[in-house]
Structure 1
Amino acid sequence: MFGKFQKKLCFYCRLYKKIIIAYLKIRLGYRLDFLVGFFGMLIKSASGIITLSIIFSNVPQIEGWSYYHLLFMYGLSSLVLIPVETFFVNAWALHTHIIQGTFVKYCLKPINTMFFYFSEIVEIKSLLQLFISIPILIISGKKMGIDWSFPLIGAYILYFICGSIILISIYVMAASLGFWLMNSMSIINFAGQVINFSKYPISIYGTFLKAVFTYILPIGFVSYYPMMLMLGKISYGNVVQAIVTAILFGSVGCLIWHKGVEHYSGTGS
């Protein structure tokens, strides 16, 4: 059983490597587009930081949270978004493939449809966000007095993985609704707006929304709970909750995707 799984995993790893190499060769022919995309990310990050600066130039704190607290959360959420924007950016184009009927090509190969579809586009330039997010975390973390011990770094790595799985699952679920709806872009845009809330402490939204962002749309594990752990306000047990939540959300995301593919492949047959 394990040997079969290992063999299949190796097959997909080799295949993904070939796909990335082929895609990079194509993208290298459009170097200007790469540079434009990089400067676009710089502008986007700068605008977020400027917005925070403007807000805190008028008020010293928001519900007890300082400028550096929110700057730290901004860096955490930007970091967790990197896997989404690098490897799952094709979610935004799914509704077009479904409407135009071109999604059928992903159903004809003897490989996993989710792997086939999302591996088609890899936005390598999104990895450059690392050079923006990490300095933000270092600077704001120092101002907050965070001690980056090995247990804390290990806990954050788990938070990062879980937060990425949660955000990926939210986008996959939102995009997958396009298999049943004519146009799912409004739902994907709504999901993006919800994810933007992860840049702010969920405690400022009230008891109801705090519960929503912890259990229903668990974006609290993207930046709020990691920051709370680093500040010593919650225990390491919250990491276990993040792992369980990520597993559940990831499973539901995969299930909705595959149910959608079954619905799509059966249409017109």
Structure 2
Amino acid sequence: MFYVSIFFQYASQYLKTRLTYRVDTIVEIFSDLLFQAVNLIFILVVFGHTSLLSGWNREEIIFIYGFFLVPYAIFSSFFNIWDFNDRYIVKGEMDRVLTRPIHSLFQIIMERMELESLFGVITGIVIMYYAGSTLGLTFAWYDTFIFVAMVLGGAFIYAGIFISLASIGFWSDSRTDIMPMMYNIGNYGRYPVDIYHRVIRFVLTWILPFAFVGVYPAAYFLKREEWYFYAFLTPVMGIVFLSLAIFLWNSGVKKYRGAGN
């Protein structure tokens, strides 16, 4: 309950700050929506030249993209640590964090959260609704709980990967370009993995499991039974990768030497 209370206090202060600069907030939300629209247009352009993509039709690809946006929006809102190495290690802000009686990772997540990114959840659900209606999909009452579990699993996978990358900074305080590259690799997860070479499919499934953020869980709702095993593995992969990331983080904090002078 202590951490829940701290979260709401952080969120309250964050909203006050954002509402002070309403125009900036609106522009940022609009920019995110525009970026999502561009990706959707890209899918439409691709299907302007073909009716199927490795056995997937246009509406199915759109549904996968819509699903992908939901866990990605949660990740972007609460795990925005792409500049951790530069800000907290190189510039020494980690020293400030470690003086407070609360877990360091939780503090950084709260400091770097961007709640306006949660609008991506709405966008993703709207896209899924459109594609699902076109495909004539039907859902059982328990699918809501499965949806929540798979969305959280996908968000945890993203969080686990990027927290693990951020943890590298505890052992190496030099600036790296791994984060931007990993963001680009993550985009592959919003398309069916069977359109890629088998080596890439293996990487996106077991090494950098971004496929569990989009195509695998979405396949369950698309009634693609051949992917059910991977779909139901999504929450498990999320817990495993997030747990591993927290372990690496805690180990890294013990190795942290401070910023010096």
| TM-score, length of structure 2 as denominator length | 0.91
The answer on 1:146 being equivalent to 2:141 is: no
Q: 1:261 Cα shift?
A: 1.8
Deviations 1:70-89 (A, max 9, x none): 11111111111111111111
CA–CA distance in structure 2, aligned partners of residues 119 and 94 of structure 1: 17
**1:236–1:196: structure 2 CA closer, same or farther, 3 Å change rule?**
closer
| Residue in 1 that maps onto 2:241 | 249
Q: 1:268 Cα shift?
A: 5.5
The answer on 1:24 being equivalent to 2:15 is: yes
Q: 1:209 Cα shift?
A: 2.2
Q: Of 179, 183, 186, which residue of structure 1 is paired with 2:177?
A: 186
The answer on 1:97 being equivalent to 2:88 is: yes
Q: 1:233 Cα shift?
A: 2.5
Query: Contact 2:82–2:162 at 8 Å: present in 1 too?
Result: yes
Query: Contact 2:167–2:249 at 8 Å: present in 1 too?
Result: yes
| Residue in 2 that maps onto 1:198 | 189
Tell me the amino acid that sits aligned with residue 250 of structure 1.
L
Q: How does 1:223-238 map to 2 (within 5 A)?
A: 223-234=214-225, 237-238=229-230
CA–CA distance in structure 2, aligned partners of residues 182 and 121 of structure 1: 20
Q: 1:91 Cα shift?
A: 3.6
The answer on 1:61 being equivalent to 2:52 is: yes
The answer on 1:113 being equivalent to 2:104 is: yes
Q: Which moved more, 1:258-267 or 1:196-205?
A: 258-267
Query: Contact 1:95–1:175 at 8 Å: present in 2 too?
Result: no
- Relative to its length, the structure with more helix (as a share) is 1
Which SS does the other structure have where 1:69 is aligned? helix
Q: 1:266 Cα shift?
A: 5.9
Q: Which moved more, 1:206-215 or 1:259-268?
A: 259-268
CA–CA distance in structure 2, aligned partners of residues 54 and 239 of structure 1: 28
CA–CA distance in structure 2, aligned partners of residues 18 and 163 of structure 1: 26
The answer on 1:263 being equivalent to 2:260 is: no
The answer on 1:38 being equivalent to 2:16 is: no
Q: How many residues align?
A: 260
Q: 1:178 Cα shift?
A: 2.2
Query: Contact 1:92–1:185 at 8 Å: present in 2 too?
Result: no
CA–CA distance in structure 2, aligned partners of residues 92 and 75 of structure 1: 27
| Residue in 2 that maps onto 1:3 | none
Tell me the amino acid that sits aligned with residue 112 of structure 2.
I
The answer on 1:77 being equivalent to 2:68 is: yes
Tell me the amino acid that sits aligned with residue 242 of structure 1.
T
Deviations 1:179-207 (A, max 9, x none): 23344551111210111011100111132
What 5-or-longer segments of structure 1 have no aligned partner? 1-9
Q: How does 1:165-180 map to 2 (within 5 A)?
A: 165-180=156-171
Query: Contact 1:174–1:188 at 8 Å: present in 2 too?
Result: yes
Tell me the amino acid that sits aligned with residue 254 of structure 1.
I
Q: Of 197, 212, 215, which residue of structure 2 is paired with 1:221?
A: 212
| TM-score, length of structure 1 as denominator length | 0.89
CA–CA distance in structure 2, aligned partners of residues 191 and 168 of structure 1: 12
Note the aligned Cα RMSD (angstroms). 2.0
